[in-house]
Amino acid sequence: MNFDFADESPKLMMLLWGLVAFVAVVGGLLLLLDAVPSWFARRRDAQLIAASASGAPLPARTKPREGLFALFFLLPTVLLLIVGLVVPAIRTTLLSFMDGNSQNWVGLSNYEWMFTENSIVRVLLNTLVWVLLVPLVATSIGLLYAVMVDKARFEALAKSLIFMPMAISFVGASIIWKFVYAYRGDGQEQIGLLNQIVVSLGGEPKQWLLESPLNTLLLIVIMVWIQAGFAMVVLSAAIKAIPADIVEAARLDGVSPWQMFWQITLPSIRPALIVVVVTLSIATLKVFDIVRTATNGNYDTSVIANEMYNQAFRYGQNGQGSALAVFLFVLVIPIVIYQIRNLRQQREG
């Protein structure tokens, strides 16, 4: 395959201008964030020096000026939120009430399709299974790791090994596990670890990713493998933050390790547990890469994010894809509200 710079020059120029625009915008924002506070500080120092030299009272800070100063820093964030979140959310919501070509209004037909089409109902059920199992299993395994390696001899090494999958992208992890689940016919040497174990035990190799609903559970294993390290790190930090006097008093009372876990450790790390479960729930609702890479959503393994992509970009059904996106957004909102309320209660408490 030959690469012709002359033919590709328009694309290269677009890339170059994009990089220049990015550098200009980011550099400009960084320059403003550095120059404006310095200018206000120098102006304030000059006013103080002048007031000190003349014997006049020191100028007081005015709240309106401080409000403008705060608005200056908030304005870029607000603009980015409006452009990158609010406007797309409104547009997607409007598109969900239109047909596939985004020309005619169809009312709630796309939402009716979502809950009546058998293939989409399967997608919703798969997503429900993901949301129920991944946070529960990943948090449980992370908690088990955190308790087991706490104050162990090789704690740092163990935590590094457990956390390592978090450094791998979802696509990379999916490719790794596709080799684990790989299948070759009878009589051939198995390259998949799982089938090799089955064959060595006298069983027959299987096409694991083709058998529903087992294939969905095997994809969930990939997500758990990645996220268990995150849960372990957060919960391990929470365990180490338990006051030593509480632990010592419990030991003096003669509690067993099992009682220590249920009566001291678990109640003390409850806020951290909630953070982990909420974070994993949101990440699981949005899962796309694993399903896309491992099965492409085939064999009854698709989830909402993958089906949303298929409808909008592969099948050209903008209305149905937008309806799935809106439904996914609605599912995330209660979790976010719960997390905000929980953080507010902790702050007040």
**318-348 vs 87-95: helix crossing angle, rounded to 10:** 140
Distances (CA, A) of 130 to 212, 288, 329: 14, 12, 16
Quick check: 27 pLDDT over 90? Answer: no
Spatial distance between the Cα atoms of 44 and 38, rounded to a whole number of angstroms: 10
pTM: 0.78
Q: How many CB atoms lie within 10 A of CB 128?
A: 13
155: Cβ contacts below 8 Å, ≥ 6 apart: 149
User: In Å, how far are 199, 202, 203, 214, 238 from 183, measured between CA atoms?
Assistant: 11, 16, 13, 15, 42
Cα separation, 300 vs 294, whole angstroms: 12
pLDDT digit string, tens, across residues 78-122: 888 888 888 989 999 999 999 888 888 998 999 999 999 999 999
Q: CATH second-level architecture of 114-348?
A: Orthogonal Bundle (1.10)
What are the pLDDT digits (tens) for 204-213?
A: 888 999 988 8
How is residue 208 annotated by DSSP?
A: G
The most confident of the ranges 18-32, 248-262, 282-296 is: 282-296
Closest alpha carbon to 61 in 41, 78, 80: 41
